[in-house]
């Protein structure tokens, strides 16, 4: 794993966006998986700014949601497709017909998750995946567990994740309890992985990731140790250990 520590959130976002732009310049047809949440907002907005300022063409990109809450549709303000559309797609020439998200209203959600995996497979898996990380070490919504599903599946969110995400909702009871997420195997099939993290709240999990040297299913981010091309970009606060 390559580690890049930046002075603050802005420069973490600049660094991540610059790396993604370089990949887009190399391959306009890039197949990319994108996260939501607090961490990636700056990176996504930089990608939108780069499109406008650097005369880039995003029309051939294929963009996949890493996850989507069960029960929040594409036009729900707290939904994850809405988030990506709001921060990136709608500000660029990304072709919406090449943006993908599971149908979280499907009658059979497990089957829908398998269809989503199939779509990713048809697209040759990801050239690049941008990940955030949960305070409990989750990537996508692969929560700590003794067993993991390799492919896309329906995940139950841990209480700590529901608590962490409650800040985006009027109250905690509105936070969905399930999501369709990429599996650990889907993530690891990406050619290149960039993980971003910022702020003191992430310092414990980032410290754990830095010292981990073996796979621990109860620490899902540890699976990244098996991947040959992972770059972790975090700001100083996320590496400042609380004694």
**Binding residues vs ligand F6R (CB under 6 A):** 35-39, 66-67, 80, 132-134, 138-140
Pick between residue 60 and residue 156 the one whose CB is nearest to ligand F6R. 156
CB of 139 to ligand F6R, least distance (A): 6
Residue number, 66 or 88, with CB nearest to ligand F6R: 66
- Least distance in angstroms from the C-beta of 142 to ligand F6R: 8
- The residue of the chain with the least Cβ separation from ligand F6R equals 132
- Which of 127, 165 has the CB closer to ligand F6R? 165
Nearer to ligand F6R, 60 or 160 (CB): 160
With CA atoms as reference, report the closest residue to 39 among 197, 186, 226. Answer: 197
- Read off the DSSP letter of residue 56: -
Q: How far is the CB of 55 from ligand F6R (least distance, A)?
A: 29
Adjacent-strand bridge partners of 192:
128
Maximum Cα–Cα distance across the chain: 49
Separation between Cα atoms, residue 90 and residue 82, nearest integer Å: 10
Taking the C-alpha atoms of residue 63 and residue 65, their distance in angstroms, rounded to an integer, is 7
Is 128 within 8 Å of 44 (Cβ atoms)? no
Task: Compare residues 31 and 180 and give the one whose CB is closer to ligand F6R.
Answer: 180
- Tokens standing for residue 8: 């603050």
**Spatial CA neighbour of 30 closest among 233, 195, 192:** 192
CB of 80 to ligand F6R, least distance (A): 6
In whole angstroms, the minimum distance from the beta carbon of 54 to ligand F6R comes to: 25
Give the residue with the Cβ less far from ligand F6R, 108 or 163: 163
Alpha helices in 8-69 (DSSP H): 9-26, 41-53
Q: How far is the CB of 162 from ligand F6R (least distance, A)?
A: 11
Q: How far is CA 237 from the centre of its chain?
A: 20
Measured CA to CA in angstroms, residue 136 lies from 19, 160, 175, 217 at distances of 26, 8, 18, 12
């Amino acid at each position: 794993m390559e580690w890049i520590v930046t002075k603050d959130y802005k420069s973490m976002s600049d660094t991540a966006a610059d790396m993604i732009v370089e990949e887009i310049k190399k391959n306009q047809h890039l197949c990319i998986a994108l996260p939501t949440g607090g961490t990636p907002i700056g990176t996504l907005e930089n990608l939108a700014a780069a499109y406008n300022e650097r005369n880039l063409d995003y029309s051939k990109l294929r963009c996949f949601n890493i996850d989507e809450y069960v029960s929040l549709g594409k036009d729900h303000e707290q939904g994850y497709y809405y988030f990506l559309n709001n921060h990136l797609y709608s500000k660029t020439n990304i072709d919406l017909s090449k943006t993908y998200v599971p149908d979280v209203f499907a009658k059979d959600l497990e089957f829908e998750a398998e269809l989503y995996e199939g779509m990713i497979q048809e697209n040759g898996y990801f050239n690049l995946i941008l990940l955030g990380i949960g305070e409990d070490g989750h990537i996508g919504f692969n929560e700590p567990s003794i067993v993991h599903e390799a492919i896309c599946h329906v995940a139950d969110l841990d209480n700590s994740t529901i608590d962490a995400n409650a800040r985006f909702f009027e109250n905690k009871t509105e936070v969905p309890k399930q999501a369709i997420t990429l599996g650990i195997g889907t993530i690891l099939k990406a050619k290149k992985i960039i993980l971003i993290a910022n702020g003191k709240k992430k310092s414990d999990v980032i410290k754990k990731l830095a010292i981990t040297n073996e796979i621990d299913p109860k620490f899902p981010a540890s699976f990244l140790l098996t991947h040959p091309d992972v770059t972790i970009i975090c700001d100083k606060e996320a590496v400042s250990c609380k004694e």
